[in-house]
């Protein structure tokens, strides 16, 4: 393997890291709701954006593709490991849980900040067995994008 080949593989590795960083930024801008409450349209947009961005970063050739995939996978595993031990990094990458309902009252500012509609909140609560926000002591949009909730008379949570 020549020096030029090694340089190309190093460049492809750097591009793979750039690709991963770009996807992280896109996901953070899209919000937690996208991770847990993805619609078919959201999924199509995500796939399209991912493929489009990949075309910019991926060099031609089988070896370049292998390097790209291995580096993206390795960076992802590494970041996941760091997130497991560092709450600060996890919150930076994934965001923090946010209360959407407190003592039966919907927190409209939180819905707006998270990009969750009132109808989406109601659907999430129904999935958990609550008919209306008034039945809920606390509902939280978790960092995974799913809604968890505790009923007015419950000690544990659902979700």
Judged by average pLDDT, the poorest of 3-7, 36-40, 105-109 is 36-40
Averaged pLDDT for residues 101-118:
93
pLDDT the model gives residue 110: 95
- Domains (range + CATH), the chain: 3-94 (no CATH), 98-151 (3.30.240.20)
| Sheet bearing 98-102, strands edge to edge | 105-106, 98-102, 136-141, 147-151
Phi, psi torsion values for 105, nearest 5 degrees:
-110, 125
User: Is residue 59 classed as helix, strand or coil in its secondary structure?
Assistant: coil
Mean of pLDDT values over 131-137: 94
Average the pLDDT over each of 79-83, 127-131, 150-154 and give the range with the smallest value: 150-154
Average pLDDT, the chain: 87
Q: What is the pLDDT of residues 11-40, one digit of tens each?
A: 999 999 999 998 888 888 877 656 556 677
Give the dihedral sign, CA 81/37/22/91.
negative
36 and 146 Cβ atoms separated by less than 8 Å: yes
Give the percent of the chain with pLDDT over 70: 90
* Cβ atoms of 15 and 68 closer than 8 Å: yes
Judged on CB neighbours under 10 Å (0-12, 13-18, 19+), 16 is buried
Residue pLDDT, tens place only, 63-100 = 889 999 999 999 999 999 999 999 999 988 888 899 99
Strand ranges, E, within the chain = 98-102, 105-106, 136-141, 147-151
Distance between CA atoms of 45 and 64, rounded to whole angstroms?
Answer: 26
Quote the percentage of the chain above a pLDDT of 90.
50
Residue 60's pLDDT is 86
Compute the distance between CA of residue 98 and CA of residue 118 in angstroms, rounded to an integer.
Answer: 15
**Does the predicted model carry a pTM greater than 0.75?**
no
What b/e readout covers 115-145, taking b as 16+ CB neighbours within 10 angstroms? Answer: ebeeebbeebbeebebeebebbbbbbbbbeb
């Amino acid at each position: 393997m020549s020096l030029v080949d090694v340089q190309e593989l190093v460049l492809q590795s750097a591009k793979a890291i750039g690709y991963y960083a770009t996807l992280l930024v896109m996901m953070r801008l899209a919000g937690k709701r996208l991770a847990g409450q993805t619609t078919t349209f959201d999924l199509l947009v995500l796939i399209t954006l991912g493929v489009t961005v990949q075309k910019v970063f991926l060099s031609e050739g089988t070896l370049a593709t292998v390097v790209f995939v291995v580096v993206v996978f390795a960076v992802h595993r590494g970041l996941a490991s760091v997130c497991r031990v560092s709450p600060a990094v996890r919150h930076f990458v994934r965001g923090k849980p946010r209360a959407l309902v407190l003592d039966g009252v919907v927190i409209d500012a939180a819905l707006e900040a998270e990009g969750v509609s009132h109808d989406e909140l109601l659907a999430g609560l129904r999935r958990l067995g609550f008919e209306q926000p008034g039945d809920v002591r606390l509902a939280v949009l978790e960092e995974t994008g799913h809604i968890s909730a505790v009923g007015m008379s419950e000690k544990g949570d659902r979700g």
